[in-house]
């Protein structure tokens, strides 16, 4: 079934998507917002529509709730729908193919805004596939969306603001925290110091971070710094975690190991749509190429928020407003002068927020020794169970491009389609070759973006057999 055509379709109901929806409506555009979750808020504001847990979102709770409420009056909301393909032929509308409980549908739109947010950087070490190892974002999602907290001793390991925040939130929720293992290298603080003053005067991130550290100390959470060589032990589930700290090895028993190594843009939909990416050394990672209005290398397709590069929730909200206003300008709903007038405060705020982001990026920059598992037996591709050693063997044999590695080893070919292992595998290959990660490339994404029952696909002949001229959509260069 094909739905009505919209001026703007937005994929992702986080701060960028919600703010874009509101602005687009204000500019007179018809819009639709699609999200695979059953409620709005995105990953950062997951569960914001549920009462009683405002403390989990800090001072952002108020504006996040307003965004959700405003977006609901601004157009059609399609939650619980997964985008499985994006096609765009000639000058026609962009086709966004979605799957929900009622089956597959196609949304037509003149402009598409991808606002799929961020995903966690993979943190691979021996034992990371054991039940009981979870990402910090995942554990926070359980808390925000279901008020579910771990019972039994918890160890948190890794680096980044989210790990610290989750440690504090779990402790305040009554969880038993055995240890917080901080893997941030001591040298990071020195390297980030020159950026501190500019960041501190640009926003609240530095002050919030200080408050977080003080709160962790006040809660008496045992913190171990400069942690390396993490190993999770257990037969059927994680039972203990071993690590190196100072000169010795230590071990803590735990029922849950929470890991985190920073976040990266979720570029799966952007790559499917054929948007070109560039290497961003500050993350380090791949980010879509966008101009200051959110336009990508594909005409009609825009990206805003963390999906375009990590900036945080407040940045995402401003970027969403900018992108929606730009879409309205391109569609003739408002003039360029009106656009510039509307978005001037947003662009100014984005610039300031960028300064504190530069500090945070440098402070928590993950070193190569954490991004590349040293043990050859460590699983890299959780789906196809390909190990670091198998990838290094490919590098030794001269296979140096990530899509070739995928074709030969099946790394990245399982149900998750390389969402978790893609950047990890590229880091390993680059390290083994002594080459720059950007020369290894990134995984191509092909439809379907997520699994679709075959009977659904079969009923949609135009997707089962795309016209040959559409094939260029799925090449790396777009």
Partner 1 sequence: MRDDPDIPRFRQLTEGPSVEIIFEGTRLTVPKGISLAAALLLHGLPAGRIGALSGSQRCAYCLIGQCFDCTMTIDGVPYRQACLTPVSEGMTAERQVA
| Segment interacting with partner 1, rule: CB under 8 A, options 7-15, 191-199, 446-454, 464-472 | 446-454
Shorter beta-carbon distance to partner 1: residue 8 or 165: 165
Minimum separation from the CB atom of position 449 to partner 1 (A): 11
* Under rule CB under 8 A, residue 415 binds partner 1: yes
Closest CB to partner 1 among residues 38, 66: 38
Which residues ranging from 256 to 275 are in contact with partner 1 (CB under 8 A)?
256, 266
| Interface stretch with partner 1, choices 11-19, 88-96, 298-306, 411-419 (CB under 8 A) | 411-419
Q: Burial of 236 by CB count in 10 Å (0-12 exposed, 13-18 middle, 19+ buried)? A: exposed
* φ/ψ bin of 176: left (φ > 0), alpha (ψ from -120 to 50), beta (otherwise): beta
What are the Cα distances from residue 381, in Å, to 13, 269, 386, 425, 442? 29, 20, 5, 8, 15
Report d(CA 177, CA 215) in Å as an integer.
14
Neighbours of 176 (CB within 10 A): 14
Nearest 5°: the CA angle 317, 320, 322 is: 115
Alpha helices in 39-93 (DSSP H): 60-72
Judged by beta carbon, residue 297 or residue 378, the one nearer partner 1 is 378
Q: Which of 28, 92, 103, 152 binds partner 1 (CB under 8 A)?
A: 152
For position 111 contacting partner 1 by CB under 8 A, the verdict is no
Residue from 69, 108, 149, 393 that binds partner 1 (CB under 8 A)? 149
Decide if residue 454 touches partner 1 (CB under 8 A).
Answer: no
Tell me which of 135, 296, 297, 325 binds partner 1, using CB under 8 A.
Answer: 135
Work out how close the CB of 333 gets to partner 1 at its nearest, in angstroms, rounded to a whole number.
33
Give least dist CB 150 to partner 1, A.
Answer: 6
Q: Considering the complex, what minimum distance in angstroms separates the CB of residue 134 from partner 1?
A: 6
Q: Does 311 bind partner 1 (CB under 8 A)?
A: no
Long-range contacts of 279-282 (CB under 8 A, 24+ apart): 279/437, 279/438, 280/309, 282/358, 282/361, 282/362, 282/365
Should residue 433 be labelled a site residue for partner 1 when binding is judged by CB under 8 A? Answer: no
Residue 120 in contact with partner 1, rule: CB under 8 A: yes
Residues β-bridged to residue 250: 243
CB nearer to partner 1: give 135 or 315. Answer: 135
Q: At what angle do helices 388-396 and 422-433 cross, to 10 degrees?
A: 40
Q: Considering the rule CB under 8 A, would residue 37 count as an interface residue with partner 1?
A: yes
Examine residue 308 and say whether the peptide bond preceding it is cis (omega within 30 degrees of 0): no
Select the span of 3-11, 142-150, 189-197, 284-292 touching partner 1 (CB under 8 A).
Answer: 142-150
Site for partner 1 in 226-245 (CB under 8 A): 235-238
Instruction: Please pick, from the candidates 245, 416, 444, 476, the single residue that binds partner 1 as defined by CB under 8 A.
Output: 416
Residue 147 lies near partner 1 (rule: CB under 8 A)? yes
The closest of 183, 222, 191, 172 to 58, measured between CA atoms, is 172
Q: Does 191 bind partner 1 (CB under 8 A)?
A: no
Determine the Cα–Cα distance for residues 434 and 368; give it in Å rounded to an integer: 12
Q: Residue 427 interacts with partner 1 (CB under 8 A)?
A: no
Whichever of 144 and 317 has its CB closer to partner 1, that residue is 144
Select from 135-143, 162-170, 182-190, 206-214 the region that touches partner 1 (CB under 8 A). 135-143
Could you tell me where the beta strands, DSSP code E, fall in 266-308?
A: 277-280, 285-288, 301-303
CB 304 within 8 A of CB 113: yes
For residue 251, give every residue at least 6 positions away whose Cβ sits within 8 Å of its Cβ, in sequence order, or none. Answer: 233, 240, 241, 242, 243
Least gap, CB of 446 to partner 1 (angstroms): 16
Beta strand 256-261 pairing with 153-159: parallel
Among 12, 127, 137, 312, binds partner 1 (CB under 8 A): 137
Q: What is the DSSP letter of 122?
A: P
Stretch that binds partner 1, among 21-29, 132-140, 212-220, 343-351 (CB under 8 A): 132-140
Nearer to partner 1, 51 or 90 (CB): 51
Shortest CA distance to 307 belongs to which of 265, 250, 245?
265
**Nearest-angstrom CA–CA distance, 138 and 38:** 16
151 binds partner 1 (CB under 8 A): yes
Binding mask 368-407 for partner 1 (x = CB under 8 A): --------------xxxx----------------------
Those residues whose C-beta lies under 8 Å from the C-beta of residue 240, and which sit 6 or more positions away, are: 232, 233, 234, 251, 252, 253, 254
Q: CB of residue 401 vs partner 1: minimum separation in angstroms?
A: 24
The residues that touch partner 1, with contacts defined as CB under 8 A, are 36-38, 43, 50, 52, 80, 82, 119-120, 129, 131-135, 137-139, 141-142, 145-152, 173-174, 235-238, 255-256, 266, 382-385, 414-416, 419-420, 450-451, 453
């Amino acid at each position: 079934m094909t739905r009505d055509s919209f001026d703007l379709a937005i994929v992702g109901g986080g701060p960028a998507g919600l703010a874009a929806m509101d602005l687009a409506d204000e500019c007179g555009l018809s819009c639709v917002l699609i999200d695979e979750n059953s409620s709005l808020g995105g990953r950062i504001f997951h569960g914001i529509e549920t009462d009683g847990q405002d403390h989990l979102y800090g001072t952002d709770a108020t504006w996040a709730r307003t965004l959700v409420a405003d977006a609901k009056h601004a157009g059609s909301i399609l939650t619980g729908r997964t985008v499985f393909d994006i096609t765009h032929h000639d000058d026609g509308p962009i086709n966004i193919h979605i799957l929900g409980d009622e089956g597959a549908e196609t949304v037509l739109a003149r402009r598409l805004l991808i606002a799929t947010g961020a995903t966690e950087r993979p943190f691979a070490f021996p034992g990371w596939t054991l039940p009981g190892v979870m990402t910090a974002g995942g554990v926070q999602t359980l808390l925000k969306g279901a008020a579910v907290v771990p019972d039994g001793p918890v160890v948190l390991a890794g680096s980044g603001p989210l790990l610290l925040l989750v440690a504090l939130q779990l402790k305040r929720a009554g969880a038993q925290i055995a240890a917080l293992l901080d893997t941030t290298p001591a040298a990071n603080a020195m390297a980030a110091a020159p950026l501190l003053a500019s960041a501190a005067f640009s926003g609240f991130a530095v002050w919030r971070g200080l408050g977080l550290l003080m709160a962790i100390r006040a809660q008496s959470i045992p913190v171990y710094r400069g942690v390396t060589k993490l190993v999770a032990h257990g037969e059927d589930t994680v039972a203990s975690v071993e690590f190196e700290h100072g000169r010795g090895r230590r071990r803590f028993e735990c029922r849950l190991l929470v890991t985190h190594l920073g976040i990266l843009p979720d570029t799966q939909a952007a790559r499917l749509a054929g948007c070109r990416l560039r290497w961003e050394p500050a993350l380090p990672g791949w980010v879509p190429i966008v101009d200051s209005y959110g336009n990508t290398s594909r005409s009609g397709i825009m990206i805003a928020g963390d999906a375009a590069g990590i900036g945080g929730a407040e940045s995402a909200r401003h970027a969403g407003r900018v992108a929606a206003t730009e879409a309205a300008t391109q569609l003739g709903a408002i003039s360029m002068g009106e656009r510039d007038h509307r978005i001037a405060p947003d662009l100014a705020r984005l610039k300031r927020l960028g300064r504190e982001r530069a500090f945070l990026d440098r402070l928590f920059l993950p070193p190569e020794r954490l991004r590349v598992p040293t043990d050859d037996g460590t699983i890299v591709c959780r789906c196809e169970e390909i190990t670091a050693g198998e990838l290094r063997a490919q590098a030794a044999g001269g296979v140096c491009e990530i899509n070739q590695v995928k074709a030969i080893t099946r790394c990245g070919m399982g149900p998750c389609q390389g969402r978790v292992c893609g950047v990890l595998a590229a880091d390993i290959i680059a390290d083994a070759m002594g080459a720059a990660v950007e020369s290894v490339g990134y995984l191509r994404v092909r439809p379907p973006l997520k699994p679709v029952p075959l009977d659904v696909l079969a009923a949609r002949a135009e997707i089962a057999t795309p016209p040959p001229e559409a094939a260029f959509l799925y090449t790396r260069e777009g």
